A = this chain, B = another copy of it.
Amino acid sequence: MSNAAISFTRIPPCSARAAELEAGDLLEIVDPEGEQVCDLVAFRRDDLREYLSSGRSLDYASKLWLGTGDLLYSNRSRPMFEIVADDVGRHDFTLTPCSRDTFRILYGHTDPKPGCEGNLEMALAPWGIDRDRIPIAFNVFMHVAFDGDGRISVLPPKSRAGDRILLRALMPMVVAMTACSAPQSNNGRFKPIDFRVLRGDDAARVAAASAAGT
């Protein structure tokens, strides 16, 4: 691999990390062990009121499941990311990050974990982004299915060990990502997520390798 020099950051199980992106950067998210969801949220760095919007993205794509070549839009209807490569092809963009309330309401926990919502809040605190501003996430590798009556099922992720998604940033952003804390989103085994930010020549090299299918 020509890109080995750019190391990955590991997001430990049931936690979150944040990073800043410049326009043109590539964000590579890898599921190192397989069957692990990563909730991703993004905010425009120069004006944090602009954020990655599920509703805008789904509406403009006219489909629920986004993949290679699709754009992810902000609430102001501007492209924030392009999906450059995607080994899995099944992600969710309809459900909010798991939270203390999720575990209380859906799982009946009496001492619930902070969940992805709490972890994202902690990761985003340095930018002053509080819990109220964490929207529906782009739930990378999350496998949500809908039957003919609209019933929602959360199934084991389709991602296998080493599968990745590669996103091109189209504006300067603050992003935060989790290794999801909900048992349904990791097939009952809490695993890490790896990510790295590629810039300049490194981004060009990885994009070219991806386009060549290597």
Contact = CB atoms under 8 A, between A and B. Distances in A.
Interface string A200-213: 00000000000000
B152 A64 contact: yes
Contacts of A6: none
A96 B59 contact: yes
Contacts of A149: 63, 65
A146 B132 CA distance: 29
A55 B150 contact: no
A197 to B, nearest CB: 26
A101 B75 contact: no
A152 B63 contact: yes
Interface string A83-121: 000000000001110010110011000000000000000
A55 B95 contact: yes
Q: Is the interface of A mostly helix, strand, loop or mixed?
A: loop
B63 A135 contact: no
A53 B133 CA distance: 11
Given A58-B95, A96-B56, A105-B60, A75 B152 contact: no
Nearest to A48: B132
Nearest to A96: B55
Interface in A62-93: 62-65, 75-77
Contact of A95 (B59, B101, B146): B59
A122 to B, nearest CB: 17
8 contacts: A50-B132, A55-B96, A56-B96, A59-B106, A62-B106, A75-B132, A135-B135, A146-B146
